Amino acid sequence: MSFARSLLLVAILPWSHLVAQQRSVTTSDVFSRYADRVVKIQVVETGSAAKATIGSGFFVTGSGHLVTNYHVISKLIHDPDRYRAELIDVAGAVKPVAVLGVDVVHDLAVLGTEVRPPAHFSLARVTVAQGNRLYSLGHPEDLGLSIVEGTYNGHLAHTRHPRIHFTGSLNPGMSGGPTIAEDGRVIGINVATAGNQLSFLVPVERAASLLEQVLGPGDDPPARTLEAIGQQLRDHQDAYLRDMFVGETKMVDLGPYRLITEPAPFFRCWADATRRQELPYETVRHHCSTDDQLFIAGDQSTGVVDVEHEMISTKKLNSSQFFSLYTSVFANDNTPGGEEEHVTSWRCGTRNVRNAALPMRAVLCLRRYRKLGELYDGVLKVAVLGRGDSGLVSTLTMSGVTFGNVDRLARRYLERISWR
Amino acid sequence: MILEVVHPGGARTWHPLGERPLTVGRGFSNDLMLDDPYVEARHARIGLDENGGPVIEDLGSVNGLVGKDTRLPGRVPLHPGTEVRVGRTLLRFHDVEEAVPPALVDATASSATTAAKESQKRLARWRRARAVRRVVRFGRTTPARLLTAAAAASAIALYSWLGSAQRSSGSEALFAALGFAMIVSVWAGIWAVASRVTVHRFHFVGHVGVAALVTLAGLLWSVAIEWAVFFFPDAGLSDVLSIGIGLVLLAALVAGHLSLASGLSRQRQWRAGFAVAGTALLIGGLATLVEEESFSDVPTFSGIVKPVAGEWLPTETVDEFGGVMAKLKEQVDEMAKP
């Protein structure tokens, strides 16, 4: 068996070797040309002098400004007394860096150093065609500066904040590094991966506008503190939530119920039904969610809005049995998790509420963020009452929003549930 | 306790029983002399056992102590309502507090109709009290206790069946009833052994009856609470009420078992019951205090829904629900303060 396999490998090897050689000409050119503009960024715990996080960054001005991801240096924002950040250049020299501004929504940060780099990237708006070859630079897993080839696949269709789909394997540690075209134009900043060559970049123009804000005259100072990050989140959520569920909203019919679906184009919806012979009831689920989570800290992310409907119906259970099932479905916990450092415990209020169409049991659970000012997580759960053989549990989850928007959206959501 | 003696001719006499033992017989040296040829010279002794509970003891007589047509063991614990025959004489025991029927109206002495009415009322009150006493007395009999146990097992089976959303709801219900029977048997068994040690009688069925009665009450109560919480989710009374009733049920359980397993007075039985319940409350209270302070990312809310027609349900408007949300905001804002 192993003999047969090694034969096969030998048979393939010369050909693939040849292909690799042909390509490596340009890749190694790109690498040697631009490697000195990319540095390793590490956040160090001052007490133990041990590395807490590592990432990559790249020079964008001749006076030593660097761009990286917010999540690379987030510890410094949360606990500036306990951490410091430094860069390690190609030659291995270590220099201190300071955070000059962050954009938490797009996961970007601009850093300042006293280093005067011999060369730097420019952050000009660029257009690339789908399929173009791109090169990503960074320090994967702290293994040394590496270059990764991949292709440009356009912007993601279903996200609230723009992301470039890059088909190449980004790995932890490459975060904050640049992804460039052959000629050295920056296309985006490495930010995330979904595995199997499915990677995401922040478009370069976001970094350009943050840099502009940092270099600007100062009437609009860039965010550097947790309070300022909180303000960025509040502005961000207000922009897309304030008018949600107003006017024409897409509705979906589930059994006898008419419900909100796909509140905005950046929601993705899924549906699923369970009809099993051994169960005396049926379940239909409908779920819409914004995919993009905003990174706040290693153990806190936010920004997801989620609409979930679960209809159960039966022809075999009596109404008492059915309602005990309904109670257990309603009591199911599907709230986001959290750490005591970042959020309070939940507080919930329950009432039997009637809108223009139907009676329901409504629960609102609320908790507040501890460090980011007036931001809350709110979960509205509704169980429609009045039928003995079918029930609907509907949940609206809002994370990282102001109370004003929790209140507005919860009211609109309650008003919108109706019979078919 | 009061001893009622029904003599062979039908005449009755009453004798208060105190701490001091009382001998019963035909001899002149007895405390209670009976003119009955079937009674020994020294026939029996009424006194307190080692636990302070009243008993009657046979002093080795030929005819012994007789219950309802059967000869009783040599030593019989006494309760209000106990009847023991010695020879042809009936000894019947009463509680001191037991109400006697009111006086009849003497037409020659009091012609006023108001007095007659008052007398009628008293008589009715007495009859009601007697009916209750009879029910309580019946409740202490073995068939009543078995009936209670059967009722509790059926209630548990019904509750389980109504709460099951599985195909196999029938077998689940049966399983719940059998589980209940098993647990109650073990529980009553432990108490029975304790009773054997303390009062020399097992009272197994009695202990089963006590446990079943308390279970039944607890089950009814929890169903009532569920409905109350469904109708009035914000009343906030459910916790207070369920803890309060839980304590009373626990106290009743302990007192009930002690009434069979000890010679303590009724007041002492309840005092012991509430002592146990109070300790449980204290431990539970401390546990909640500790838990209350700790952080949790899992919310707690009353997610009970019940099959009720919409028009029967008291509801609020969406605007009123807005007020609930504003209150929650105040609470979490307070919690977020450093």
Q: Report the residue from B162, B295, B333 with minimal CB separation from A368.
A: B333
Mutate: best of B223, B308, B325, B330, partner A, most A CBs <10 A? B325
Question: Is residue A98 a contact partner of residue A77, using CB atoms and an 8 Å limit?
Answer: no
Q: Report the residue from B166, B304, B327 with minimal CB separation from A349.
A: B327
Q: What DSSP element (H or E) covers A399?
A: strand A390-401
Is A410 near chain B, with CB under 8 Å?
yes
Looking at residue B110, its pLDDT comes to 59
Q: Does residue A9 have a pLDDT over 70?
A: no
Amino acid identity of residue B37, one-letter, is P
**For A35-61, what is each residue's pLDDT tens digit?**
889 999 999 998 888 888 999 999 999
Q: What is the mean pLDDT of residues B118-127?
A: 85
Tell me the chain A residues in contact with residue B324 when contact means C-beta distances shorter than 8 Å: 349, 351, 364
Proportion of chain A above pLDDT 90, given as a percent: 51
Residue A333 tokens read as 């916990």
- Which of these, A326, A198, A396, A243, lies nearest to B304 by C-alpha position? A326
User: How buried is B72 (Cβ within 10 angstroms: 0-12 exposed, 13-18 middle, 19+ buried)?
Assistant: middle
Residue of B nearest to A385 (CA): B310
Note the Cα A137 to chain centre separation in Å. 21
- Which of these, A191, A208, A207, lies nearest to A156 by C-alpha position? A191
Q: Cβ–Cβ of A324/B331 closer than 8 Å?
A: no
Looking at residue B108, its pLDDT comes to 67
Backbone angles phi, psi at B272, to 5 degrees: -65, -40
Tell me the chain B residues in contact with residue A412 when contact means C-beta distances shorter than 8 Å: none
Q: How far apart are CA B335 and CA A345, in angstroms?
A: 8
Tell me the chain A residues in contact with residue B309 when contact means C-beta distances shorter than 8 Å: 386
Q: Does residue B263 have a pLDDT over 80?
A: no
Amino acid identity of residue A345, one-letter, is S
Q: Report the residue from A324, A352, A376 with minimal CB separation from B165.
A: A324
Looking at residue B38, its pLDDT comes to 93
How distant, in Å, are the alpha carbons of B121, B123, B175, B211 from that of B118?
5, 9, 56, 42
Q: Cβ–Cβ of B233/A327 closer than 8 Å?
A: no
Residue A396 tokens read as 């609206």
User: How buried is A231 (Cβ within 10 angstroms: 0-12 exposed, 13-18 middle, 19+ buried)?
Assistant: middle
Residue B141, min C-alpha distance to chain A (Å): 36
Give A35's DSSP letter.
G
Looking at residue A408, its pLDDT comes to 93
Cβ atoms < 10 Å from Cβ of B49 = 16
Is A334 near chain B, with CB under 8 Å?
no
Q: How far apart are CA A124 and CA A211, in angstroms?
A: 11
Mutate: best of A320, A376, A405, A406, partner B, most B CBs <10 A? A320
Q: Cα Rg for chain A, rounded, in angstroms?
A: 26
What are the residue ranges of helices labelled H in chain B?
A: 113-139, 142-162, 169-199, 204-231, 237-261, 266-293, 318-336
**For A221-231, what is each residue's pLDDT tens digit?**
788 888 889 99
* pLDDT level of residue B276 (50, 70, 90 thresholds): very high
**For A114-170, what is each residue's pLDDT tens digit?**
989 989 998 888 888 888 899 999 998 888 889 999 999 988 877 778 889 999 888
Q: Does residue A21 have a pLDDT over 60?
A: no
Residue B229 tokens read as 């919480």
Q: Cβ–Cβ of B328/A343 closer than 8 Å?
A: no
Q: How far apart are CA A299 and CA B65, in angstroms?
A: 80
Is A391 near chain B, with CB under 8 Å?
yes
Residues 6+ apart with CB under 8 A from A329: A310, A312, A391, A393
ipTM of the complex: 0.83
**For A195-235, what is each residue's pLDDT tens digit?**
788 899 999 999 999 999 888 877 777 888 888 899 999 99
Helices B142-162/B204-231 angle, 10° precision: 40
Q: Report the residue from B163, B231, B315 with minimal CB separation from A354.
A: B315
Q: How far apart are CA A241 and CA A164, in angstroms?
A: 24
> From edge to edge, which strands make up the β-sheet containing B12-16?
B12-16, B2-6, B89-94, B83-86, B65-66
**For A94-112, what is each residue's pLDDT tens digit?**
999 999 999 999 999 999 9
Q: Cβ–Cβ of A385/B305 closer than 8 Å?
A: yes
Q: What is the mean pLDDT of residues B250-270?
A: 90
Q: Report the residue from A322, A406, A415 with minimal CB separation from B325.
A: A406
Residue of B nearest to A380 (CA): B325
Mutate: best of B161, B315, B330, B334, partner A, most A CBs <10 A? B315
Q: Report the residue from A281, A333, A403 with minimal CB separation from B165.
A: A281
Taking one residue from A and the other from B, the number of pairs with CB-CB distance under 8 angstroms is 170
